[in-house]
Amino acid sequence: MTLGRLALRNMLRSKRRTLLSTAAIVVGVMYLILGQAFVGGIEEGIVQAAEDGMTGHITVRVDDYPTTGLSHPVDDLLTLTPAAKALLDDDARVAAWVERTVFVATLSTGDDSLRIRAIGAGARDAEVFQRTTWTVEGRVPETAEQGALLGAGIGRMLGIGVGDRVILRTRTHAGAINALDVAVAGLVQTGNMALDGTTAWLPDALARDLVRAERPTHVGVRLKRRGQAPAFAEALRAAVGDGADVITVQEETAELLRMQQIRRNALNILVGVLLAMSALAIANTILMAAHERVREVGTLRAMGMTRRRIVALFVTEGAIMGGLAGLVGLGVGGLGAWYFSENPIDLGALMQGVDYGNIQFSAYLYTAFDPGAMVLPFVIAASTAVLASIYPALLASRLEIADAVRAE
Amino acid sequence: MAICELKGATKTYGSGATEVHAILGIDLTIDAGEFTAFVGPSGSGKTTLLNQIGCLDSPSAGSVHIRGKATAGLSDVKLAGLRAEEIGFIFQSFNLIPVLTAAENVELAMSLAGQDGGHDAALALLAEVGLEGLGGRRPNQLSGGQQQRVAIARALVKKPSIVIADEPTANLDSDSGRAVLDLMRALNEKHGTTFLFSTHDPMVVDYARRVVTLRDGAIVSDERRGAAS
């Protein structure tokens, strides 16, 4: 007759009470796993949106470039040094790089107009700013004659369809006003809410024609791995010299990720409260069990069970409760985390009309499913249950045997 | 041979004006194989005395020796070991573990005494106390007499030197009580196990070969009988 078997039988004698006590742990573990997975997913979504939207793994832009609001001046253009070009062309870490001309334009249909961001994209743009989440109605224009690709949000707002014509008006590099009548080649849903409602993509030649610029405003770089960005950025900074900023995707998203840390901390506090509640529930359950089983405890002690084994018996009951509840929470939370990693929540429809400015944010809320990250919540749950059962176990072990065996 | 010896055993509760002596200066020797009843009115000290012998409690003064070993000053682990190996208990309310079957109750006692044998040994012992085929039943599926037989099997499974039975027939009808007493005496004669009873039941007194009468915490008579009734 093992202690574990006896503990299991004891635990099952008040099934309803055990279930209620363990429910808090189940919810706590589930909430922790799902919450962490969503926070992780949001973090990855932020980085991914920046990576595939405006930053790539690394972006090079003119010094003191504005980083807030819809502001993309073309007064200063980017000049890449020969050393920087050589590094971008020859370094084995570089998968692709591309020049971009980014500017602000007013898009007009005749009746309505909207201030937008226009991106003049070079031929290799899709290699640097990957388009795996893009859904395009119409086509992505490759020549100036084919016109522009508009974010689907712009199309919705102004009632523009594929094949319509719009006027793009902007200030040139020299400060003059220029406008062109362009065809709408396509409408794109990028999966990045900040881009869909504000951005148009133009063939680079069309963009440069509009702003009359000989040189780009940005260079985007894709490396073989995101993690290589900080080290490569150091080398690139040395090569580009003064007058240009080299920004990594990690730097670009650092502020948002810091905000995410606040969210993560808030989640941890909530989970802490839940676990504290579940610890109290388990302590109460074990305490009630100890009170109800005074005579049994006395009998076990009379039969030769030591105080330490009585403590072990009650702690084992707590551990079984915590372990089983942890497993259920892990199962449900893990299943949810896995499901939402495969089936994201589409925030696009929920958050239409929200102004994101320059904040790159994925329209799809995924979870970051990491089986390894589920071990800790399970360990925390089981440990909480064990710790919560120690005090009642100690009380039970200190009963006077002579009185306990005759307790009613 | 003395299996248990008390010298000046005293148990005092409270202090000063509220001081009460549950037993006071008791000298007593129990020999191996005795079948002894402790009688006396409620509050006379029967249970306190048996608690001292059973190592469930320690004396405030005096000494208790089990098989020549003083129990005073023993650690919890050593006292538990002594109870597990040398002393079996039978209680008025049977005190079986309700979540375990009859056989598992017996197995648990074996396991605490560090004995091998497992389920088969438990079933064999249950058969010896007349519970053949009932090993799989939980206590609530057994009659009072059957439960007390399980308790007897549980007390005897470790082949203890002493079995302490606290009012063993109090919750049984007279037929079941007699059957239980017959069983205990048969086991006493077969294995030489010492049985000590605390009782108010005249039937238990009739079965005893020695009757120790207590009053106000002291032994007032100690009658030995030549033959069993």
Does domain B33-59+69-224 bear CATH number 3.90.1170.20? no
- Find the DSSP H helices in B113-195: 118-128, 144-156, 174-191
B227 has a pLDDT exceeding 60: no
Give me the residues of A, 240-259, that contact B with CB < 8 A.
none
Could you tell me if A389 and A291 lie in one domain? Answer: yes
Contact B95 A296 (CB under 8 A): yes
Q: Tell whether A70 and A40 lie within a shared domain.
A: no
What residues in B contact A304, CB-CB < 8 Å?
Answer: 80-85, 109, 112-113
β-bridge mates for residue A98, sequence order: A220
The pLDDT, as a whole number, for residue B156 is: 86
3-state secondary structure chain A: CCHHHHHHHHHHCCHHHHHHHHHHHHHHHHHHHHHHHHHHHHHHHHHHHHHHHHHECEEEEECCCCCCCCCCCCCCCCCCCHHHHHHHHHCCCEEEEEEEEEEEEEEECCCCEEEEEEEEECCCHHHHCCCCCCEEEECCCCCHHHCEEEEHHHHHHHCCCCCCEEEEEEECCCCCEEEEEEEEEEEEECCEHHHHCCEEEEEHHHHHHHHCCCCCCEEEEEECCHHHHHHHHHHHHHHHCCCEEEEEHHHHHHHHHHHHHHHHHHHHHHHHHHHHHHHHHHHHHHHHHHHHCHHHHHHHHHCCCCHHHHHHHHHHHHHHHHHHHHHHHHHHHHHHHHHHHHCCEEHHHHCCCCCCCCCCCECEECCCCCHHHHHHHHHHHHHHHHHHHHHHHHHHHCCCHHHHCCCC
Contact (CB<8Å) B107/A1:
yes
> What mean pLDDT is predicted for residues A46-54?
86
Residue A293 included in any domain: yes
**Does residue A375 belong to any structural domain of this protein?**
yes
Contact at 8 Å (CB) between B203 and B27?
no
pLDDT tens for A136-149 read 999 999 998 999 99
- Is there a single domain that holds both residue A215 and residue A296? no
Q: Are residues A219 and A282 in the same domain?
A: no
| Boundary residue ending a domain (A173, A208, A241) | A241
**Rounded to an integer, what distance in angstroms lies between the CA atom of residue B124 and that of residue B131?**
9
Q: How do residues A256-292 score in pLDDT, each as one tens digit?
A: 888 878 888 888 888 888 888 888 888 888 888 888 8
Q: What is the pLDDT of residue B229?
A: 42
Q: Which residue has the higher pLDDT, A360 or B180?
A: B180
Q: Which of A294, A295, A297, A323 is nearest to A312 (CA)?
A: A297
User: Which residues of chain B lie closer than 8 angstroms to A311, CB-CB?
Assistant: none
Same domain, A105 and A225: yes
Contact B146, B194 (CB under 8 A): no
Note whether residue A120 is domain-resident.
Answer: yes
Q: Give the residue extent of every domain in chain B.
A: 33-59+69-224
Give the pLDDT of residue A159: 92
Percent pLDDT > 70 in chain B is 98
A301 contacts in chain B (CB < 8 Å): 56, 80, 83
Q: What is the pLDDT of residue A354?
A: 57
Q: How confident is the model at residue B213 (pLDDT cuts 50, 70, 90)?
A: very high
Length of chain B: 229
Q: Which pLDDT score, from 0 to 100, does residue B228 have?
A: 46
Q: Which residue of A has its CA nearest to B75?
A: A306
Check residue A351 and give its pLDDT: 61
State residue A361's pLDDT score.
Answer: 63
Of B76, B108, B109, which has the smallest distance from its Cβ to A306's Cβ?
B76
Contacts of B56 in chain A (CB under 8 A): 301-302, 401-402, 405
3-state class of B21 per DSSP?
A: strand
Q: Name which of A5, A296, A303 to mutate to probe chain B: the one with the most chain B Cβ atoms within 10 A of its Cβ.
A: A303
Tell me what pLDDT residue B32 has.
93
Beta bridge partners of B12: B21
- A106 and A210 in a single domain? The answer is yes
* Residue-wise pLDDT tens digits, A293-303: 999 999 999 99
Helix (H, G, I), strand (E, B) or coil at B127: helix
Query: Residue A188: its pLDDT value, please?
Result: 94
Alpha carbon of A328: minimum distance to chain B alpha carbons (Å)? 25
Q: Give B-chain residues touching A6 at CB under 8 angstroms.
A: 97, 99-100, 108
* A195 and A226 together in one domain: yes
Structure token digits, residue A81: 């040094």
Q: Please answer yes or no on whether A13 and B98 come within 8 Å at the CB atom.
A: yes
Q: Is residue A192 part of a domain?
A: yes
Domain boundary among A241, A276, A296: A241
Domain check: are A280 and A355 in the same one? yes
**Structural domain contains residue A96:** yes
Evaluate whether residue A59 is within a structural domain: no
B86, B90, B97: best to mutate for the A interface, most A CBs within 10 A: B97
Residue A338 has pLDDT above 70, yes or no: yes
Could you tell me if A208 and A90 lie in one domain?
yes
A358: pLDDT strictly greater than 80: no
The domain total for chain A is: 2
- pTM to 2 decimals? 0.75
pLDDT for the residue numbered A353: 55
Same domain, A201 and A295: no
| Domain carrying residue A229 | 64-241
Residues A158-174 have pLDDT tens digits of 999 999 999 999 999 88
Q: pLDDT (tens digit, 9 = 90+) per residue, B71-127?
A: 988 899 999 999 998 999 999 889 999 999 999 999 999 988 888 778 888 999 899
Residues B5-28 have pLDDT tens digits of: 999 999 999 888 888 889 999 999
Considering only CB atoms, which residues of chain B are within 8 Å of chain A? 47, 51, 54, 56-57, 76-77, 80-85, 89, 91-93, 95, 97-100, 104, 107-113, 154, 166
Q: For residue A359, is pLDDT > 70?
A: no
Banded pLDDT at A186 (limits 50, 70, 90): very high
- Looking at the structure, tell me whether residues A379 and A328 fall in a common domain: yes
Identify which of B104, B107, B112 has the shortest CB distance to residue A304: B112
Average pLDDT over residues A250-255: 88
Residue B199 confidence (pLDDT): 92
Instruction: Please say whether the beta carbons of B180 and B155 come within 8 A.
Output: no
A392 lies in a domain? yes
Cβ of A406 within 8 Å of Cβ of B166? The answer is yes
Q: Which two tokens stand for residue B112?
A: 């605490």
pLDDT of A267 reads 81
Closest partner residue to B84 (CB to CB) among A13, A295, A304 is A304
Q: Is residue A232 part of a domain?
A: yes
Structure tokens at A255: 């502020």
Which one of A194, A212, A241 terminates a domain? A241
Arithmetic mean of pLDDT, A362-384: 84
Q: Are residues A74 and A215 part of one domain?
A: yes
